[in-house]
Chain A
Amino acid sequence: MSPINTQPTLEGMLETPISRRRALQIAAAAGAAAFLGGTSAARVVAQEPVTGGFRMATWIGYIDVGEDGFTHPSLDRFTAETGIQVDYQEAVNTNEEFFASQLQGPLSSGLPTGWDLIVLTDNMVQRLVNYGWLEALDPAATPNFQANLLDIYRTRDWDPGNLLAAPYVSGMTGLGYDQAVTGPLTNIDILFAPDYAGRLTYLTELRDTVGLSALRLGFDPTTLTEEQWQASLAEVKTAIDAGIVRQMTGNSYVNDMASGDVVLAVAWSGDIAGTLVPEQAEGQDFQWTLPDQGGLLWTDNMVVPKGAVNKAQAQVFIDWYYLPANAAEIGAYVNYVVPVLGADQAMVAIDPALATNTLIFPDAAMIERLHEFQSLDLDTDARWTAEFNAVVGL
């Protein structure tokens, strides 16, 4: 139906009506040119100011919330300072779900995922590192990150040089309990004793649950051998089979504690302070303790998946986050450990009480008792996951 353009001159083009097919072709060519032009512009990173936007996937409750409950003042400030738009999505519910639904498909086929920055926990980041599915961060583009990362994160054997993962917040796994019911608790033994049988929960994260079991037996989760793993897992199995453990939960133990069904749990530090304490009822006294034997330190990291289109913009955000004032502003809402040097001093200006809160800025004595679970290669990860699932009835 399109008239054959026998006059390829400007006059000819103006005279010939453009058919719909031709218009689509022009639009496609224009779009392709803009896309190619846009990506090449994004790759010319270093000295030119970066603009545009990026897509970020993260967990619920990991950003400050304004008065209306919808806006994020820190992100607005970031956009005002840098001109980069942030498409902030609380799309991560669990590491596994996000991996299965968003990452495994595209990345295993070598395609981009549509995300530029993702916040995932250590074990999932290790898996991505093993698959080679992460983009390396450019040290020249992230000077604040390189300078202000706390020392305890600089010796990760799975990320030499800290080029793949930038810690966002850390959390600690320890004892969460209602002191009004149990009294003060400081020992992991109580999790394996029948005192509160049927009223305590473990976490479905094997690194947290079996990690605490290992600490109780005197092992270091950072250097767990196969025999130590089996021994720690056996203790967990004994407790579950004896009916001591009410349920294996994810984050939902928080609801059970609030309703009083559960009085003791393997708990994450920020949940108690940030979620339970503000809402606690008369007669409840929620506490979180790092046990005497120690606890687990886990980190939610900012990573850039392979093929991310807006990697430059994501790097700008990572570097912006590692300015102490910015990390402190976000940390005041999140109630988890802030991994940025100098953030505790910056916190004094925001909320002096939080600046000395050991759940957000653990002191040296606590840091000594905190252990990161060791990084696992893919085979061991799969095998230990299968063994743990078998123990918890799955």
Chain B
Amino acid sequence: MSDFSRRHPGAVAWLLLAPGLLYLAVFYVVPTVQMFLVSLQTGSPGTGYQQTWNFANYPAQISTYWDEFVRSVAYGGLATLLCFALGFPLAYFIAFRGGRYKSLLLFLIIAPFFTSFLLRTISWKIIFADNGMILGPLKDIGLVPDSFRLLATPIAVIAGITYNFLPFMTLPLYVALEKIPPSLLEASGDLYADTRSRFFRVTFPLALPGIVAGSLLTFIPAVGDFVNAELLGNPQSQMIGNVIQAKFLKAVDYPAGAALSFLLMAAILAAVLVYARLAGTEQLYGAKA
């Protein structure tokens, strides 16, 4: 074997990569190419689909569903920010103050995942019912008007997305914060750093890779989410995921659905590239662990 690897230096690496590459090729590349071809077809299930290379499909879909695209990016972005606002203190607390209870606290973050995504979202309908366990007492006291509601609003959709993706943000943050050697923090104290500058000049820059990872893991699926908008939203708060689902299942318009899927991918890719440029570079903060 060592003889083989000497004569074919790169071959071993390729052989090791081969299963993963094959998996990617079969389950990702081929379906993506096929979907791209579908997006350029015209027709219907009854008359059949013809490959007409209908590139005009793309501008048509953008102009028709521009609002939904913007709304999806906005909802996904807001949910990511909220996840960060909630997840960072959580991860910080567990990493630095968790002590003996670190594993238990991490488990508590993951525990909701043992129930299905759908059930968790439906449970919110029960918790936030117009006269349920939260709004009911508030309305009785008079803190909120009787006609107030949380469900079937954009707020509920964003809150639902935040809740469902919080672990995706918290866990990478925890991993990044946990890796910071306490000695670095002690050293900064020796160099006359107070708590505030220690946080902003040592802890936060070292946690940046975790922040980037968590943000990507949260933002990318959140933009394409449709379950929360369907269950917790109203007709004015539908996201692009709902539109794509309707195209495939209700309207049976596969070329439109495929084109919208690719446009969604492109939009997310653009956003992610910009973000990675801005926030992902170590040189930006001169931080190196």
Contacts and interface: CB of A to CB of B under 8 A. Distances in A.
Interface of A: 94, 96-97, 99-100, 104, 108, 127, 130-131, 198-199, 204, 240, 243, 245-248, 252, 255-256, 259-261, 378, 382, 385-386, 389, 392-394
B252 interface: yes
Interface of B: 44-48, 125-126, 129-132, 147, 149, 151-152, 231, 233-238, 242-243, 246, 248-253
Overall SS of chain B's interface:
loop
Contact of A385 (B233, B238, B251): B251
Given A94-B249, A104-B45, 8 more contacts: A100-B249, A246-B152, A259-B126, A259-B129, A389-B246, A389-B251, A392-B238, A393-B237
Contacts of B250: 96, 204, 385, 389, 394
Contacts of A99: 252
A220 to B, nearest CB: 25
A389 B238 CA distance: 11
The DSSP consensus for interface residues of chain A is helix
Contacts of B147: 198
Given A259-B132, A393-B238, A386 B251 contact: yes
Contacts of A261: 125, 129-130, 149, 151
Nearest to B249: A96
A73 B132 CA distance: 39
Contact of B234 (A108, A246, A385): A246
A378 B45 CA distance: 9
Contacts of A394: 238, 242-243, 246, 250
Contact of B235 (A127, A130, A259, A393): A393
Contacts of B45: 104, 108, 131
A204 B242 CA distance: 13
A198 B149 CA distance: 9
A130 B47 CA distance: 11
B129 A260 contact: yes
A100 B235 contact: no
Nearest to A202: B235
B72 to A, nearest CB: 12
Contacts of A100: 248-249, 252
B257 to A, nearest CB: 11
